[in-house]
Amino acid sequence: MEVLKQVQRLPVTPTPFKDIADKLNVSEDDVLKASEDMLARGIIRRFGPSISHRKLGYGSNPMTVLKVPEERLDEIGEFIASQEGVTHCYHRSGWDYNLFFMIHGKDRESAFERAHEIISKVNIKDYKLLLSIREFKKTSFEI
């Protein structure tokens, strides 16, 4: 758990894992092995960057919500998940709209167009596109 806490934000130095090891009083190999293990177990999804897409101009991220009959959830969920531009796709409970997906676009028009294009292929009439107006908070989950 201590290793996990530290590897969430790697020090940006030539030897990030060695630096963490020194801090925790363990060997660099211990840190690398623990990291590999947590990666293999799925606790760590991947080692990568967390990028602020808004600062790169991907400012338009409509959340699309659909009302899908229960028996078509998997079929439609898996189809949408496979579509280009889709970053998230979930079945959620708690609302009449039960399938959610996100796409990121450089501008509102192309994002809307892409969302409509995807929806037109699944033949669901009841849906909404919820465009974000402001970002109050966006962080990565950290323990």
Partner 1 sequence: MIIWPKNHGAPTREALVLIELDDADRKLLRALQSDIPLTSRAFEEIGERAGLSENEAVERIQELLDKGILRKVGAIIAPRELDYVSTLAAINAPESEVEAIAELINGYKGVTHNYLREGEPNIWFTMTEPDIETMEHNIAEIEKATGLAVRRMPVEKLYRIGVKFDI
Chain positions 10 to 69 lying near partner 1, rule: CB under 8 A, are 10, 12-18, 28, 32, 35-36, 38-39, 41-59, 63
Half-sphere exposure of 124 (CA within 13 A, CB side): 27
Write down the least CB distance from residue 98 to partner 1, Å. 8
Write down the least CB distance from residue 142 to partner 1, Å. 7
What is the signed CA dihedral for 78, 82, 86, 87, rounded to 10 degrees? 80
Single out the residue of 53, 57, 35 nearest to residue 44, CA to CA. 35
Q: What residues from 95 to 134 belong to the interface with partner 1 (CB under 8 A)?
A: 95, 100-101, 104, 108, 125-134
Q: How far apart are the first and last CA of the chain?
A: 9
Write down the least CB distance from residue 50 to partner 1, Å. 4
Q: Measured from the CB atom, is 26 or 58 closer to partner 1?
A: 58
**Should residue 143 be labelled a site residue for partner 1 when binding is judged by CB under 8 A?**
yes
Strand partners, 101: 64, 89
